[in-house]
Amino acid sequence: MTRRRWIADEVSGTHAALTGDHADHLVRVLRVRVGQEFDIATGAAVRHGRIVTIEEGRVEFELGAEVSAAHILNITLLLAIFKFDRMEWAVEKCTELGVSRIVPVIARRTDVHLASAAGKRVERWRRIALQASEQSRRATPPEIAAPTKLHDFVSDVPSVLRIVLAESEQQTLLRDILTSQPAGEVFLAVGPEGGWAEDELQLFQKSGWTSASLGSAILRAETAAIAATAITISELA
C-alpha cells in the first residue's frame, strides 16, 4: 500500500513536524494516531516517518530510512493573472503535473481589479500548491512568486528554452519545439483571457522567446496552462 506523503514544516535531525493548520488537518480530518506511518518530505530528501507525538497544532514524526522520490523537471510557468477561481485550478493542476515554479504576471489584458488584488492571493496559491504537492507525492511544492508586471520580468529571463503560447501562431506547435531542443530548463508563458496584446508578443520576440501553438482550438487560459504543462513534461521527462 502506498503511504501518504506530507511536506514537513520543521525538520531537526531525525525528527520532523507538521504545524498549525497543516497539523490540524491530520488530527481533525484524518484522525491520525501515534504510531501511524507516512512518507515525510524534508526538503533534502523523502524519508519514512512514524508519528511520535500529537499536540494541538503540532504532529511530530520520527524519521527513518530515505525513500525514492520522483525527479521534478525545471519548468517555470509564466501565468498571466485571470479569474481567481480558474487561476487556482491552474495552480493546483500544474503543480500536480510537476512545474517547479509559477510566476503570476500582470498583462495588458489582466482585469485591473484582479491585478490589484493578486498580491493578497499569493499565500492562498501557495497553500493550494502545497496541498497539491502532497496529494501528487511531490517532495517539494513549486515556488509561487509574487505577482509582477510582464514588462518587468520577460527580458530578464535567462537564455534557456523560452516559449510563449500565442493564438496568432499558425505554424509551430509546442510539441515540435520541445522535440527539437535538448532537455533542460524551460519557461512557458500563458496569456490572460483574451490572449496577449500585440505589443506584448513583440516584447517576447525581442527578448528571445519562441512563439508556439497548442493547436487550432481556442482554449481557456487555465486549460492552456494545464495542456502546455502536460505536453512539456511528456516530451522532456
- Predicted confidence (pLDDT) per residue in 184-200, tens digit: 789 999 999 889 999 99
Read off the C-alpha cell for 1. Answer: 500500500
Q: Are strands 37-41 and 46-55 parallel, antiparallel or unpaired?
A: antiparallel
202 closest CA partner among 211, 194, 193: 211
Q: Cα(221)–Cα(190) distance, rounded to whole angstroms?
A: 7
Mean pLDDT computed over 56-77: 89
Q: Which fold has domain 75-236?
A: Alpha/beta knot (3.40.1280)
Mean pLDDT computed over 80-103: 96
What share of the chain has pLDDT > 70, as a percent?
Answer: 98
For residue 31, give every residue at least 6 positions away whose Cβ sits within 8 Å of its Cβ, in sequence order, or none.
Answer: none
What residue ranges of the chain are covered by domains with CATH 3.40.1280.10?
75-236
Pairwise pLDDT comparison (72 vs 229), residue with the higher score:
229
CATH number for the segment(s) 5-67 = 2.40.240.20
Q: What pLDDT is stored for residue 156 in this prediction?
A: 81
What residue ranges of the chain are covered by domains with CATH 2.40.240.20?
5-67
Q: Cα(117)–Cα(163) distance, rounded to whole angstroms?
A: 27
Q: What pLDDT is stored for residue 59 in this prediction?
A: 96
Res. 125: pLDDT tops 60: yes
58 closest CA partner among 30, 31, 28, 18: 18
191 closest CA partner among 214, 230, 220, 217: 220
**Which class for 153: exposed (0-12), middle (13-18), buried (19 or more C-beta within 10 A)?**
middle
